[in-house]
Chains A and B, each alone.
Chain A
Amino acid sequence: MLNASRALKAGAILLLAAGILAFPSLAPNPYILSVGVLVLNYAALSTSWNFVGGFTGYISLGHGALAGLGAYGTGLLVAKGGLPPFLALFAGATLVAALAVPIGFAALRVRGASFVIVSISLVLILLLIFQSWASVTGGSRGLVVPRPFDLSRPEHHRVFYYLFAGLLALALLVWWLIDRSRFGLGLKSIREDEDKAEALGTATYAYKLIVFVVSAFFTALTGGLYALWFGDLDPVFQFSILTGSYLVLMALLGGVRQLFGPVVGAIIVGTALEYFKGAYGDTPLHLVATGLLLALVVLFMPDGVLPAVADLFKRFDRTQSSSIREVTASELRDERLKKAEGAAR
């Protein structure tokens, strides 16, 4: 079936992919290229975050910690374990995924509130551990991860740009596959109404745990790749509560129900962050801006910009209006309330 909005969507995705791939040859200097690497890093992280946030609706503020664990896992395996860099990357991510099982076991037993508390606590406790356990982690002295390739700095950025792009593509592919599977359907039913999903026989706890571990694996993989790219790890920056909040902001802004939502969010927020820091220095004002933006998104655009844009297109495309849509429980509830209010008056 040929219709306008579908063609538009496919076109937009092709354009995005082409833009991402062409960027290194268009970047005017190595600095811009390094910004591109950073943005892709954010895109991969927030897509990994979206496995939990998008499917189950559980909002984790602690994914920064999982990325930090991946970074340190990879770094330690290379620097102290002597493994080849990319073997260490996968070994590190697997270890983090294994660790995510007990974390998820504790965090997912209780609904919502406790999950968020645990996710924040995870960042804080790992910061303490990695700072204090200096004999292993290097503590505040930091950990130096040896360079995997012997390249000049601009070449180093270019290689890692494509590695990050590859990782992002892999994460997107897995997200897309889950989205279309029965497993994905079960997860989404948790997001809409966990009690009903459970009553209908969905193994909600197991589903949540599995997707949390998958998310941890991709997050750790991205973190580990960052460690290989950046080279210097410091607990204060690896286990920062801000990282997690950036990821949430990116995913929410882009739209958690959309495959490309987090990527779009990462491009917007990541570029803006870099631009403001470059233009105005890294003053506390960027905290204010992040806080304001997050509050505005939560209050007025909890579904993200992509759906907002899609709505705009739908207005011009009347043929779509009668087809079956995916509607959230909260939207239905809002609709019903509105109708009830209208009837009362």
Chain B
Amino acid sequence: MIVTLGACSSSSGGDDANDKTDPITIGVSLPLTGDFSEPGKGVQQGYEAWAKIVNDSGGLLGRQVELKILDDQSNADRVVADYEQLIGKDEVDLVFGPFSTRLVVPSARVAEEYDMLFVEPAGAAKEVFEQGFKNLFYAAPAVANDHYNHLADKILAMPADQRPKTAAYAAMDDPFAQGTAYGLKEKLEAGGIKTLVDEVYPPNTTDFSGIAAKIADSKADVLVGGSQYQDGVNLIVALQQLGYQPKLAAFSTAPTNPEFASAIGNKTEGVLSPTGYSQDAQYPSNKEFVEKYTAQFGKAPEEDQANGYTTGQVVAAAVTAAGCAEQGECQKKLVDWLRANTVETVVGPLSWDETGKPKGAHMIQQWIGGDIKIVLPEDVKEAEFLYPKPAW
């Protein structure tokens, strides 16, 4: 008995597939504490909302779904041990991805080596898709480097006398945050907009006065921040202290946070941010999601929650089409189906190339009149693009 144990775990699993009344268990590891705890909790709520909505409407393949969520404390060693435990010991039927690029790559490798389908809500940096993973799919409209595509087009289409001429970039040393800022940088540089400042700061930076002094001294027209949340706020406050006034300011993630306005003293007018999700989007499943999510959690979902929910939708679509959900042969069927099909989700229809990269772009939001509104692309806009940005 002892000798054969090593080999049997990945092929057969503990519970037999023909026992249809068993719940489908789904293993997840998320950063519920540590550096990424805020977005991690957001994704967790998205997953929980998805599980509840699925179970309330009769489950998947007639079976209830059950989430098993472990906390990885934003730690790569932990995330690997977690998926190892979920797949090897707990023998879950499916896995969902964790949060943050840093954690996605190591955990995707575990899933890959156990031949599990790996749909993830948060590994947006291009490195994720360069590892040769065959089972990985990113459940969002675009990778980090493409987030600002609509904004870059808009800026470069301006008449030459209005178009900004110089830009300053400051990005957190994180694949996602840097990806967004450098995606825009590449396109603006190609369009002739000169880079005056290009700063990278470590994730734990708390004092931004030095970086701010450089940016303020450069008097660049465009300010681009590759930020998470708090670092964006700190940089803006430090720039305000120095009296720097850009004509255009774009930050990833931070401006969409509900506490952003009060954190920078309500001087938000004109600040831009890319987003992959809008509560008002007219996709069929989105209405149901916003309604039921609000009922469950008492507030409307944000982007992180939507990403988690989207992951659930993508896996559910594959499970329904393939008609199975367990370890072993079934996982290959799920992967093949996703590779060949398009899935309708709360962030729109998603399809993937062979590396698991989604084929889309993000919308651009802007703070206008004390509220954040979609301004780009033209066909879904809620307000006019505001340029130049009023003083903060």
Q: Interface on A for B, CB 8 Å cutoff? A: 24-35, 38, 128, 131-132, 134, 139-142, 144, 152-156, 158, 230-232, 234, 236-237, 274, 277-278, 281-284
Contact = CB atoms under 8 A, between A and B. Distances in A.
Nearest to A274: B81
B190 interface: no
B32 interface: yes
A211 B101 CA distance: 40
Given A34-B81, A141-B127, A142-B105, A26 B2 contact: yes
A33 B127 CA distance: 30
27 contacts: A25-B3, A28-B89, A29-B9, A29-B88, A32-B89, A35-B81, A38-B81, A131-B202, A132-B202, A134-B173, A142-B76, A144-B131, A152-B113, A153-B10, A153-B88, A153-B110, A154-B7, A156-B113, A231-B109, A232-B76, A232-B105, A232-B109, A237-B75, A277-B81, A282-B71, A283-B71, A284-B33
Interface in B368-385: none
Contact of A140 (B7, B9, B85, B175): B175
A274 B101 CA distance: 24
Interface of B: 2-3, 5-7, 9-10, 32-34, 70-73, 75-78, 80-81, 84-85, 88-89, 101-102, 105-106, 109-110, 113-114, 125, 127, 131, 173-175, 200, 202-203
Contact of A142 (B6, B84, B88, B102): B102
Contact of B89 (A25, A31, A128, A132): A31
A230 B351 CA distance: 32
B88 A31 contact: yes
Contacts of A234: 76, 102
A290 to B, nearest CB: 13
A203 B355 CA distance: 60
Given A153-B113, A283-B33, 12 more contacts: A35-B81, A38-B81, A141-B175, A142-B102, A153-B84, A230-B106, A232-B106, A277-B78, A277-B81, A282-B72, A282-B73, A284-B33
A230 B109 CA distance: 10
A230 B75 CA distance: 14
B1 to A, nearest CB: 10
- List of 8 A-B pairs having minimum Cβ-Cβ separation, nearest first: A282-B73, A281-B71, A31-B88, A30-B88, A31-B89, A232-B106, A153-B113, A31-B85
Contacts of A134: 173
Given A28-B5, A140-B173, A282 B88 contact: no
Contacts of A29: 5, 9, 88-89
A282 B30 CA distance: 11
Contact of B76 (A24, A35, A155, A237): A237
Contacts of B70: 281
Contacts of B88: 29-31, 34, 153-154
Nearest to B2: A25
Contacts of A153: 10, 84, 88, 110, 113-114
Contacts of A30: 6, 9, 84, 88-89
Contacts of B76: 142, 232, 234, 236-237
Nearest to A140: B173
Contacts of A232: 76, 80, 105-106, 109
Contacts of B106: 142, 230-232
A247 to B, nearest CB: 15
Nearest to B132: A144
Contacts of B71: 281-283
Nearest to B14: A29
